[in-house]
Amino acid sequence: MFEWILSAEMWVALLTLIGLEIVLGIDNIIFIAILVGRLPKEQRQRARIFGLGLAMLTRLMLLLSLFWIMKLTTPLFSVFSQDISGRDIILILGGLFLIAKSTLEIHHDIDNAGEKSDENLLKEGAKRGFFGVLIQIAILDIVFSLDSVITAVGMVNNIEIMMIAVIIAVLVMMLASKSISEFVDENPTIKILALAFLILVGVTLVAEGLEFHISKGYIYFAMAFSLGVETINIYIKKKHASQRKS
């Protein structure tokens, strides 16, 4: 059952798959960070862990349903000579949801810029509700997990390796999620960048569902570059602020 442990090739495949799972989970972490940002502080870490736990559970369940996953790629109908499968429908609907949700979040932050106290944030978080946030996370987890699982199936044929890679990748994301969330919460411009990134991811999902393949590498590179520039700006602002105080 565990013969692959003695195979160097399988270990390379496992490490590669863990890396890919973490990269494919970045947008998931950002989405969770933004959603839990409006919950009361004492609930945020629990929501992050539950959200990523849902992501892990969803991916493992999809891996155990490989027959169903493979059937999702079978065309169901055609639109303007374009074959549409179950996977395409999930990606298109998930992409549209992500675009709409991120756009509404940007409008919300712009409309309420500088007008929010901690008390208002707590009221808003209570209104949304812990389980309301988890439901939104669960919806997007299905889309993100589908993309991740299809990548895993295409790379490795061993179900054990795929499941181990998913578990390790999600555990790494759990460890990193708090610091990423706090960084996003403390820097409003980073949050807007993150939301813009999620809109791009949504567009990519819709395009993928329509069989227009856009490499996520381009989006990740653009986001990393923008994040690097904005991080430098934040550092300069903090340095100037400390100099004024002294």
For residues 173 and 58, the answer to whether their CB atoms sit within 8 Å is no
1 domain-assigned: no
Give residue 182's domain range. 7-74+82-245
- Could you read off the pLDDT of 79-136 as tens digits, one per residue? 777 788 877 887 788 788 888 878 887 887 777 665 554 455 555 555 457 777 788 7
pLDDT: which is higher, 176 or 149 = 176
- 120-136 pLDDT tens trace: 555 555 545 777 778 87
More confident site: 48 or 1: 48
Domain contains 166: yes
- The domain total for the chain is 1
Percent of the chain with pLDDT over 70: 80
Single-letter amino acid, residue 51: G
Secondary structure of 26-74 in HEC code, one letter for each residue: HHHHHHHHHHHCCCCHHHHHHHHHHHHHHHHHHHHHHHCCHHHHHHHCC
Distance CA 175, CA 170 (A): 9
Q: What is the pLDDT of residue 153?
A: 62
Whether residue 157 lies inside any domain: the answer is yes
- Identify whether 17 is part of a domain: yes
- Residue 118 falls inside a structural domain: yes
The verdict on residue 2 lying in a domain is: no
Identify the pLDDT of residue 174: 84
Q: In this structure, is residue 213 part of a structural domain? A: yes
Residue 49 in any domain: the answer is yes
